[in-house]
Amino acid sequence: KVVYGHHGIYSYGTHGDTADLKQSLLPILRNRVQLYLFGHEHIVQHLKPEDGIHFIDAPAGGQKARPSKSGPMTLFTDSFWGFVALEYDADRIRVEMVDTEGEVRYRTEIR
């Protein structure tokens, strides 16, 4: 299952974590959802899963990309314009972060 929102629950971007979402949304998603996708930070992040949820910040689509930052939960981070492509079946979600030149800059599978 994939849930998307504008603000990140966890983030190492300019805005950081969203306390309200940690308190109200995260308990509902725990052990029910495999991916929480967001884009508020205008950077690229894949954060370690917590209670089965991976956290992915999609690349900046139309706004200026901001400098990327790392933290203890970081699996991948970068800064570029692009998009996230999801391909899924019953066993996995394949995630590709693609830049504006069509190059896959990061790829992972969530089982």
* pLDDT (0 to 100) of residue 109: 97
Residue 9 phi, psi dihedral angles, 5° rounding: -75, -50
The beta-strand segments (E) located in the chain are 2-4, 35-38, 44-50, 53-57, 74-78, 82-88, 93-99, 104-110
Task: Tell me which residues are annotated as active site.
Answer: 15
- Which of the four pLDDT bands, split at 50, 70 and 90, describes residue 68? confident
CA-to-CA distance for 60 and 74, rounded, in angstroms? 18
Share of the chain above pLDDT 90, in %: 79
Is the CB of residue 73 less than 8 Å from the CB of residue 51?
Answer: no
Is the CB of residue 38 less than 8 Å from the CB of residue 6?
Answer: yes
* pLDDT (0 to 100) of residue 66: 83
The model carries a pTM of 0.93
Taking the CA atoms of 28, 111, 94 and 106 in sequence, report the sign of the dihedral they define. Answer: positive
Across the range 71-87, mean pLDDT stands at 94
CA-to-CA distance for 34 and 51, rounded, in angstroms? 9
State the chain's mean pLDDT as an integer. 94
In this predicted structure, the answer to whether residue 60 has a pLDDT above a threshold of 90 is no
Across the range 26-52, mean pLDDT stands at 95
**Sequence letter at residue 89:** D
* pLDDT (0 to 100) of residue 95: 97
Share of the chain above pLDDT 70, in %: 97
In this predicted structure, the answer to whether residue 42 has a pLDDT above a threshold of 90 is no
* pLDDT (0 to 100) of residue 8: 96
